[in-house]
Amino acid sequence: MTIELLPFPNVLGFLALFCYILTLLPTNLRIVIPASKKTKIPKRLLQNRRLIGLISFLLALLHGWLLIRKQNFDYLDPKTYWVYFQGVASFIVFTILAITSNDWSVKRLKKNWRKLHSLTYFTMFMVTWHIWAKMAEHWSSFTLIGLSSMGFVILLYLKRRYLEYKANQVKTKQQTTPRKSLSQTSV
């Protein structure tokens, strides 16, 4: 691991990652750490989520573009797509999310909008894999910060899913348990 000045495309990747993490935090924080609501941080992040997501998309675009140019991307060779698979897959999702992050899409897609935007959680794993695979054997301290932050967000997300699963279980139990009739309850 080296502590050195990062190349510009890596700085962009790191900034894209930082903004992306900010878009993932509000919902997860509110559910897993309810006390965080008092700080107003989740609320502020939620209010600005679209803008932050768009900035992340633009930074990722520039990051990917500079690295593809630097590494002489052979567009006709399918192997290239496999080598960059995780980055390209994450970027495709970023693009879909950026295009549909507006009121018009929310109205048009209705319930499907939520489903579509839950793709962001799949990307969480893809981006982590991307950094791990691409930075193998030449980690910098930023790589460590990036991967640890993603690890933290993934743990937060898994805890949230667990809490939601538990809450759902309690709800269905309450719905299926027949209520005691008045005649049974009165002595």
Site string for ligand HEM, 126-165 (x = CB under 6 A): -x--xx--xx----x-xx--x-------------------
What minimum distance in Å lies between the beta carbon of 114 and ligand HEM?
A: 22
Residue 106, both tokens: 């929310």
Residue 41, both tokens: 């941080």
What minimum distance in Å lies between the beta carbon of 19 and ligand HEM?
A: 8
- One residue of 22, 24, 87, 101 binding ligand HEM per CB under 6 A: 87
**Rounded Cα distance, 10 and 143, in Å:** 9
**Identity of the amino acid at 103:** D
90 lies in the binding site for ligand HEM (CB under 6 A): yes
**Identity of the amino acid at 140:** S
74, HSE (Cβ side, Cα atoms, 13 Å): 7
Positive/negative CA dihedral, 76, 96, 92, 73: positive
Report the interface residues with ligand HEM, using CB under 6 A.
6, 10, 13-14, 16-17, 20, 60, 63-64, 67-68, 84, 87-88, 90-91, 94, 127, 130-131, 134-135, 140, 142-143, 146
